[in-house]
Structure 1
Amino acid sequence: MSSYLFGRERKVADIPIDHPSCSKQHAVLQYRLVEKEQPDGMMSKQVRPYLMDLGSTNGTFINENRIEPSRYYELFEKDTIKFGNSSREYVLLHENSKE
């Protein structure tokens, strides 16, 4: 799967978030194939995660900063994501992450 929908509407959300301040379809996490320049100047293709707020009422936050709706933001290891006024935080890790 290349994308995951976060929201309160359990019929369509891939990852349900139940906090009342969250929208039915709140945000989407999408994996995209992008070209990145390596330190040696060579270009390589990598799959990277991006997050977009879907125009939610109470916003989506990356590292405590509210993001603009309808715009993709690249996520990096250990970024924290919050939805609406929920105190629950999601932390982006990869398989080799250390706590």
Structure 2
Amino acid sequence: MVMESLTACLHPAPRKPMLVGVEYPSNQRCSRQIIRAGLTDISIQEEVIRKELQKENERLARQAEEEAAEKQRANDKARKEMREWWTQKWEAKKRSEGWGGYEKCWVLRAAVTAEPDKVAVISGEGVLVGAAPLVSGSIKPFLVDYPMVSSVHAHVYGRDVVKGYKKYVREYFVVDLGSTNGTYLNRSKLRPRTEVRLSSGDALKFGDERAIFVVESQK
């Protein structure tokens, strides 16, 4: 017992170092630090969310601009096609009516010397040849009153034919409409309801020997 006391006096147990003037944090201060750290994390999350929302808004704005540009391109294309279509129709109308600066329309001119002034201009949708032709749309009636000519005998008309890129040539055609005595082109009988192309100087006979007309360019 005496020995143990002596040993304790000679070798005392080490003590924890004490810092003078230092105050250890209390539980309240630790709570404040935890709250401050939590607020910092929330601020970082809010910043991340704000940046993501900004990116999404920018993406939506770009998408809206692209859609508007695509719509504008489609509208421009449609307007261009409409202008081209209208130009083609208007030019075709001027050609068909024989306006100045364009090729004259062709005519059907009577080959019989007794009726040299009997002429039909093949304009618009053409002429309907017969003893009692019916008027339909812009088709012009052309009265040919002979015994062997049917009431509605044949249709003679012109049409713009595509010959290349934006290049049109007006050509003329005849169709026999199922007449009783037939239609002849240069002495060859035409098949009923079959379109046949005409050339300048061709002679058309509508059933009767007196009903012969020459197809020629208008003077």
- Bin the TM-score by the shorter chain: 0.7 to 0.9
Q: What is residue 82 of structure 1 aligned with on the other side?
A: 205
Moved over 3 A (4+): 10-13
Number of residue pairs the alignment of both structures matches:
92
Aligned pairs for 1:1-99 within 5 A: 1-9=124-132, 12=135, 14-36=141-163, 44-95=167-218
> Within 1, Cα distance between the matches of 2:131 and 2:218?
28
> Within 2, Cα distance between the matches of 1:56 and 1:18?
14
1:77 maps to a residue whose letter is S
Looking at secondary structure, tell me which structure has more strand per residue: 1
Q: What is residue 41 of structure 2 aligned with on the other side?
A: none
- 1:95, CA displacement in angstroms? 3.5
> Within 2, Cα distance between the matches of 1:81 and 1:49?
13
Q: What is residue 119 of structure 2 aligned with on the other side?
A: none
> Within 2, Cα distance between the matches of 1:95 and 1:57?
30
> Within 2, Cα distance between the matches of 1:61 and 1:3?
18
- Listed one character per residue, the Cα deviations across residues 57-97 of structure 1 (whole Å, up to 9, x for unaligned) are 1000110110001011100010000101232321111146x
TM-score (norm 1): 0.81
- 1:10, CA displacement in angstroms? 5.2
Looking at secondary structure, tell me which structure has more helix per residue: 2
Q: What is residue 89 of structure 2 aligned with on the other side?
A: none
Unaligned runs of 5+ in 1: none
RMSD in angstroms over aligned alpha carbons?
2.0
Unaligned runs of 5+ in 2: 1-123
TM-score (norm 2): 0.39
1:48 maps to a residue whose letter is E
CA contact (8 A) 2:144 2:211 kept: no
- 1:43, CA displacement in angstroms? 7.9
> Within 1, Cα distance between the matches of 2:134 and 2:183?
21
